[in-house]
């Protein structure tokens, strides 16, 4: 049984049971570069906010080259684990939203995230969902009220699908370098290399050099 009113309102234990896809994932340093939502233009990205075990970045997107008629706000919260993410989601739902109970996305036949809730109304203008260690909030904030369901699915898909390599591949650019000197003449130092593509996905490899 739930131990407090918040857990009775939103079943966090049920969330853990249905988070099968997100549990094995850990998404790190995710960012939006402007190509993530087709037919939309990224017009602003606010500086990231870092608080203990979570990192938040807010993005403003505009449909095409309009004048704010169709505008959405996307808040991306990155945490340290799926468990901590569920705790933050509960805080968001019972704090920021202050609703008795938002509708579950699944109850409206919307497949989204490990856990997802939507706003009220026939046109779904807002949603909040968790996937792995990420929370995403999307709101329609333009002059024209629009459904954000398809956009939310596109963002969610960024977390669970492997990036498709471009025809040219990912070309790493060295932005900085450091040289380390070993105190011992012999050994097998290991160097880790990471490449981040235009969608924010990381690929890593290690190189070991044996010195005698």
Q: Is 31 helix (H, G, I), strand (E, B) or coil?
A: coil
pLDDT beyond 60 at 177: no
* Residue 61 located in a structural domain: yes
183 within domain boundaries: no
What pLDDT does 3 receive?
A: 54
What confidence category does residue 135 fall into, taking pLDDT thresholds of 50, 70 and 90?
A: very high
DSSP symbols for 158-185: HHHSPPPPPTT--------------SSS
Which residues on neighbouring strands pair with residue 78, listed in sequence order? 55, 134
Summarize the confidence of residues 121-150 as an average pLDDT. 96
Banded pLDDT at 32 (limits 50, 70, 90): very high
Phi and psi, residue 21, nearest 5°: -70, -40
Across all residues in the chain, what is the average pLDDT? 81
User: Is 212's pLDDT higher than 80?
Assistant: no
**CB contact at 8 A, 18 and 64:** no
For range 48-58, the mean pLDDT: 94
Position 165 in a domain: no
Residue 154: give the domain boundaries. 5-160
Structural domain includes residue 74:
yes
Its sign, for the CA torsion 125, 131, 136, 142, is negative
- Categorize the per-residue pLDDT at 49 as very low, low, confident or very high, splitting at 50, 70 and 90: very high
Domains of the chain: total: 1
| CB within 8 Å of 83: residues ≥ 6 apart | 16
pLDDT attached to residue 64: 79
Task: Specify the pLDDT at position 65.
Answer: 75
Q: Tokens representing 8?
A: 């009775």
Looking at the domain assignment, is residue 101 inside a domain?
A: yes
What mean pLDDT do residues 50-79 have?
92
Higher pLDDT, 208 or 62: 62
Q: What residues pair up with 79 in beta bridges, in sequence order?
A: 54
Q: pLDDT at position 179, please? A: 40
For the ranges 3-7, 103-107, 180-184, the lowest mean pLDDT is seen at 180-184
Residue 12 inside a domain? The answer is: yes
Nearest-angstrom CA–CA distance, 100 and 7: 12
Q: How confident is the model at residue 169 (pLDDT cuts 50, 70, 90)?
A: low
Q: What is the reported pTM?
A: 0.74
How far is CA 191 from each of CA 91, 97, 161, 207, rounded to the nearest angstrom?
Answer: 40, 46, 28, 5
Inside any domain, residue 47: yes
The better pLDDT of the pair 98, 46 is held by 46
**182 belongs to a structural domain:** no
Check whether 119 has a pLDDT greater than 80.
yes
Q: Identify the CATH number of the domain in which residue 147 sits.
A: 3.40.1000
pLDDT number for residue 178: 47
């Amino acid at each position: 049984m739930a131990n407090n009113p918040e857990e009775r309102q939103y079943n966090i234990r049920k969330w853990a049971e249905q988070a099968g896809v997100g549990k094995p994932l850990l998404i790190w340093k995710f960012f939006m570069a402007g190509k993530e939502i087709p037919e939309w233009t990224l017009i602003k990205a606010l500086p990231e906010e870092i608080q203990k075990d979570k990192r938040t970045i807010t993005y403003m997107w505009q449909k095409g080259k309009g004048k704010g008629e169709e505008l959405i706000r996307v808040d991306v919260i990155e945490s340290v684990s799926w468990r901590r993410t569920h705790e933050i989601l509960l805080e968001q739902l019972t704090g920021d939203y202050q609703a008795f109970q938002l509708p579950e996305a699944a109850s409206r036949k919307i497949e989204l995230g490990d856990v997802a809730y939507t706003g009220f109304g026939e046109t779904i203008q807002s949603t909040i969902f968790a996937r792995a260690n990420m929370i995403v909030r999307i709101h329609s904030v333009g002059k024209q009220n629009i459904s954000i369901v398809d956009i939310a699915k596109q963002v969610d898909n960024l977390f669970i699908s492997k990036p498709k390599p471009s025809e040219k591949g990912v070309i790493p650019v060295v932005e900085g370098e450091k040289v380390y000197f070993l105190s011992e003449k012999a050994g097998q130092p290991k160097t880790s290399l990471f490449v981040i593509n235009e969608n924010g996905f990381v690929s890593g490899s290690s190189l070991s050099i044996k010195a005698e």
